[in-house]
Homo-oligomer: A and B are copies of this chain.
Amino acid sequence: MENFSIGVDLGGTNLRIAAIDQQGQLLEKVTLGTQVSLGPDFVIGEMCTAIQHLSAKYRGSAHLQGIGIGVPGIIDMKTGEVRESPNLAGWANYPVHSKIEQRLGTRVFLENDANSAALGEKWLGAARELNDMAMLTLGTGVGGGLVLGGRIWHGMTGMAGEFGHITIEPNGALCGCGNYGCLEQYASATAVVRMAKESIASGKASGLSTAASSDSEFSAKVVYNLAIQGDEEARKIFAQVGRALGIALSDLVNALNLPMYVIGGGVSSAWDAFSPFIFDELRQRSMVYAATAPPSSVAGSRGASANVEPGGSTKTLVTRALLGSDAGLYGAARVAQVLAA
């Protein structure tokens, strides 16, 4: 009998639940809106109903190993509960884990969403041939996940992988974490919009200004569309995204010397606009990258893991995520398979 697990990606906007077998085959996926304003009890109720539906459907032909839930926040590794979650108001210190386990009578594992995404890309995505990798997810904020020896590196208290809070500019923009000049302030969707508004305020960005006044939901996507149409100010913003990522990646490459760094999350759709600046910074700033960079035609190409030599990689690859917005969902399912095994 085949084993399967259920992965949940609990986002601030979408709640996605999938049954995934041990080979990584998607059996079924359900997408719901996350009605954060109705409180954790309501959302947990909806989540559990969907999980029960899926598990009942596949339990006849396969064994349910457990349920993994990717949460945008810090998970306390001792209690298994959510410790902090800026994007899920009211969820911090709420007994999410025990409530769900009680209701379902199945083993449940909470994991940080960026860690889940990293494990997803390691299992089935860009880093599937590798045991060591780091991932950056560029979304509302910038998340990070580190996989060492095939497993998520949690650190001492489960707080490792906060790459979004690497300092890029010691006197830069104030971050929600209390630091100044964090990567998150230059490479998140929120940062793209902030930098666009700063550019508009400076009076130089007529294209951005027109777009902002005609579009009530002025977003990073709008800025990207202007950039690919050649708008100079919009392009400068993505250059700054790429440079900030390049500085943070140089730090990580010098510190960890991993074979692969994967860039995912919504903002990674703008890869073509920002990635050239990543590689410029890496070549200049990281002697470890300079010594291990692949030929430039390979750097950054999708599916770069095909370039991993048998017998171990000796090249540093920086590449786009392959699983798109499903990385966290697959990773959450994998968390349950690994931990339940």
Contacts and interface: CB of A to CB of B under 8 A. Distances in A.
A251 B153 CA distance: 16
Contacts of A250: 165, 167, 179
Given A167-B285, A287-B178, A292 B159 contact: yes
Given A156-B132, A170-B247, A247-B170, A286 B165 contact: yes
A251 B167 CA distance: 7
A288 B162 contact: yes
B156 A292 contact: yes
A27 interface: no
A284 interface: yes
Contacts of A144: 255
A155 interface: yes
A117 interface: no
Given A166-B255, A254-B163, A285 B156 contact: no
A248 to B, nearest CB: 8
Contacts of A256: 146, 153, 155, 160
Interface in A160-194: 160-163, 165-170, 177-180
Contacts of A179: 250, 284-287
A104 B214 CA distance: 78
A158 interface: yes
Interface in A90-135: 132
A269 interface: no
Given A157-B314, A251-B251, 20 more contacts: A144-B255, A146-B256, A153-B256, A156-B259, A156-B312, A156-B314, A156-B316, A159-B257, A159-B288, A159-B292, A160-B256, A161-B257, A163-B255, A165-B250, A165-B286, A165-B288, A167-B168, A167-B247, A168-B170, A179-B250
A148 interface: yes
A133 to B, nearest CB: 11
5 contacts: A146-B256, A157-B257, A159-B291, A178-B285, A178-B290
A262 interface: no
- Pairs of residues from A and B, 10 with the lowest C-beta to C-beta distance, nearest first: A155-B257, A160-B257, A162-B254, A179-B285, A177-B287, A159-B257, A159-B288, A165-B254, A156-B259, A166-B251
Most buried by B among A154, A167, A180, A286: A167
Interface in A277-300: 284-288, 290-292
A250 B168 CA distance: 12
A313 interface: yes
Contacts of A314: 156-157
B257 A158 contact: yes
A336 to B, nearest CB: 23
A258 interface: yes
A74, A165, A251, A254 pick with most chain B CB within 10 angstroms: A254
Contacts of A284: 178-179
Interface in A305-323: 312-314, 316
Contact of A257 (B156, B177, B257): B156
Contacts of A154: 257
A221 B61 CA distance: 73
